[in-house]
Structure 1
Amino acid sequence: MDNELERCKPWIEAALEYSGGTHDFSDIVEGLHRGVLQLWPTPKGCIVTEIVVYPKKRVLNVFLGGGELDQILDMHDDVIAWAKAQGCSALTMSGRFGWKKPLKAHGWEAQHASYIKEFG
Structure 2
Amino acid sequence: MSWSRWRAWLLPALEDGTEAELLADLRGGRAQLWAGERAAMVTQVADETAGRALHVWLAGGDLSDILALKPGVEAWGRAQGCDYVTINGRRGWARILRSDGFTRIGDELRKRL
- TM-score by shorter chain over 0.5: yes
Question: Structure 1: how far apart are the matches of 2:107 and 2:13?
Answer: 18
8 Å CA contact 1:12–1:25 kept in 2: the answer is no
| Alignment-derived partner of residue 6 in structure 2 | 8
The aligned counterpart of 2:54 is: 60
Is 2:71 aligned against 1:39?
A: no
Q: Which amino acid aligns with 1:23?
A: G
Larger Rg computed on CA atoms: 1
Partner of 1:48: 42
Deviations 1:62-90 (A, max 9, x none): 00110111110111211111001001010
Q: What is the RMSD computed on CA atoms of the aligned residues?
A: 1.4
C-alpha contact (below 8 Å) 1:31/1:37 kept by paired residues: yes
Higher strand share: 2
TM-score norm. by structure 2 comes to: 0.88
Match of 2:85 among 79, 85, 91: 91
Q: Does 1:27 align with 2:25?
A: no
- Figure out how many residues of one structure are paired with residues of the other and give that number: 108
The normalised TM-score by structure 1 is 0.83
3-state secondary structure, aligned to 2:26:
helix
Once the two structures are TM-superposed, the CA of residue 56 in structure 1 deviates from its matched residue by: 4.6
